[in-house]
Amino acid sequence: MGEFLRQSALPLLACLGLVTSSAVLLSGKDHRQTVADENAQQTITQQGDPTDFSAEELRMLQVRFGVHGPQTPLAQLFTNGVDQLQPLRTRTLDQLRSLKSDIHRQSARYRVNPMLLTAILFDEIQHSKPGESLPFIAHSGLVRTHGPAQIGISELIHQNWLPEDPSDTDIAWAREQLLDPAFNVELLAGKLQRLKRALGLPAESMLQASRSYLDAKAIATLTYLHNGKLDYPARVLRYMQDAELHGLIYSKQHGGADWLI
């Protein structure tokens, strides 16, 4: 997939090394994120919308990973409506608070921007279907993805938690594990790291959308591959800049290091 990054007409594909140089590699200390200054943000804006994919890019992603395309207009309207429900947002934030330590731990372990994990979790929790977290629903096979990050059994196969041809017992065990929120966050971080490698991105890089158009494009691609819908990356990038989410994740952090958006 590094070839995909190199061949696109977009700047991201011109030189993958720019992604590496623009990324921040964490030193293990507590980090706070700062929004990029206006000049940096203006440069990113001038390079175009990182969530716009050319026909060639989509074709290459389809060949390599498989994609689903945009939501239907009705589904998009429903999604936007759900985002306006304050009680639902409050409940989602409460769930994220309970996962805060897991987010920071897995972010450091897998070298994934904690705000990227948080944004994905926020969207998936916010738009989850009622009752799908109940064990009997999970084991019924009626839903294919589970937990706060909406991870499927296939991801456990990718990460070598399951054999390529799992037995019924294996699948039952997997569904049970996917209902564990902490393990679900770990799988999400591992999935993003796996996709970074598949895209040819350095596994140790910490992508920051506000610092670099290249990083923003890489994040858009990662989130597209996670969810499979073309309108998903824009939502995630927007959530990564949400002040309330930043406060939730970094409220007890200390020190003057940069926030990572």
Q: What is the pLDDT along the chain (261 residues), one digit of tens a residue?
A: 444 444 442 333 333 233 333 333 333 333 344 344 344 444 444 568 898 888 888 888 877 776 655 555 545 544 555 565 667 889 999 999 999 999 999 999 999 999 999 999 999 998 887 777 788 888 888 888 999 999 999 999 999 999 999 999 999 999 999 999 999 999 999 999 999 998 888 888 889 888 889 899 999 999 999 988 888 999 999 999 999 999 999 987 455 555 566
| Coil, helix or strand at residue 3 | helix
**Which pLDDT score, from 0 to 100, does residue 28 have?**
34
- Phi and psi at residue 145, to the nearest 5°: -125, 155
Scan for tokens 């309108």, then name that residue: 231
pLDDT at 251: 83
Tell me the whole-structure pTM to 2 decimals: 0.76
Task: Please give the pLDDT value at position 12.
Answer: 34
Q: Pick from 118, 168, 174: which is nearest to 146 by CA?
A: 174
pLDDT at 30: 39
d(CA 210, CA 241): 9
Q: How far apart, in whole angstroms, are the C-alpha atoms of residue 246 and residue 55? A: 34
> Residue 2: what pLDDT?
46
Number of residues that make up the chain: 261
Residues near 2 by Cβ (< 8 Å), separated by ≥ 6?
A: 16, 199, 200, 201
Q: How far apart are CA 251 and CA 103, in angstroms?
A: 14
